């Protein structure tokens, strides 16, 4: 896959992005090393009973609440390509890539589902972010970070691309440009 570099970003923006990336990496490392909570956190069975997410394997199923209080399971989306984006409101690169994810969700509603799994923030904070950035794809709450632990998220943003049969095809760690997003979707037959 030939991924092209993203848009040029000024020096001050790079410092902000670098700081946010470092914070996301540290939080992700702490999250990954932290023991799983005793609550199932919306996973099928205990966290120990769920295999970690690996490219080429079936994506671990999960059920989480949307910011609007509805329950949503990954398995409900079989038959579509699913982009599962792990993010946080304080993550500057997450904020930068969200409009591209929204644009693709709008362009391919019958073939692509985008899910935003938030890192342990309140529904109020996530709802405010949604309104500010203009997102209408489902934003899911992962209050104990159990799903993020199963997916081994080490930094933000991290996006998993899951095919129609539920297999993880790609994982992208860090800021994803619109061009990179389009290449992943083309590889999965969404844009062809």
Assessment of whether the complete model's pTM goes beyond 0.95: no
Distance, CA of 166 to CA of 27 (rounded, Å): 28
Bridge pairing between strands 81-87 and 168-173? unpaired
What's the rounded Cα separation, in Å, for the pair 163 and 79? 8
Complete domains list, the chain, with CATH: 11-187 (3.40.30.10)
The rounded average pLDDT for each run of 10 residues, N- to C-terminus, in the chain (192 residues) is: 45 51 48 38 48 91 96 97 98 97 97 97 97 97 96 96 97 97 97 72
What integer pLDDT is reported at residue 72 of this predicted model? 98
Q: Determine the 3-state secondary structure of 111 from DSSP.
A: coil
Residue 122: φ, ψ to 5°: -75, 155
Residue 50: per-residue pLDDT? 61
pLDDT at 17: 53
Phi, psi of 64 (to 5 degrees): -135, 165
Q: Is 145 helix (H, G, I), strand (E, B) or coil?
A: coil
Structure tokens belonging to residue 40: 């199932």
Which of 190, 184, 174, 180 is closest to 86 using CA atoms?
174
Q: Phi then psi for 37, rounded to 5 degrees?
A: -70, 160
């Amino acid at each position: 896959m030939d991924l092209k570099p993203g848009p040029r970003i000024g020096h001050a923006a790079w410092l902000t992005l670098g700081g946010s990336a470092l914070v996301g990496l540290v939080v992700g490392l702490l999250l990954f090393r932290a023991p799983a909570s005793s609550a199932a956190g919306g996973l099928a069975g205990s966290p120990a009973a769920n295999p970690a997410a690996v490219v080429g394997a079936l994506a671990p199923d999960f059920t989480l609440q949307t910011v609007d209080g509805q329950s949503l399971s990954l398995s409900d989306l079989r038959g579509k390509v699913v982009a599962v984006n792990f993010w946080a409101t304080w993550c500057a690169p997450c904020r930068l890539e969200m409009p591209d994810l929204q644009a693709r969700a709008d362009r391919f509603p019958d073939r692509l589902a985008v899910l935003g799994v938030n890192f342990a923030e309140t529904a109020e904070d996530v709802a405010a972010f949604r309104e500010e950035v203009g997102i209408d794809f489902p934003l899911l709450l992962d209050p104990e970070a159990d799903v993020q632990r199963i997916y081994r998220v080490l930094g933000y943003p991290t996006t998993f691309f899951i095919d129609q049969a539920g297999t993880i095809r790609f994982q992208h760690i860090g800021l994803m440009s619109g061009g990179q997003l389009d290449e992943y979707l083309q590889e999965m037959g969404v844009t062809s």
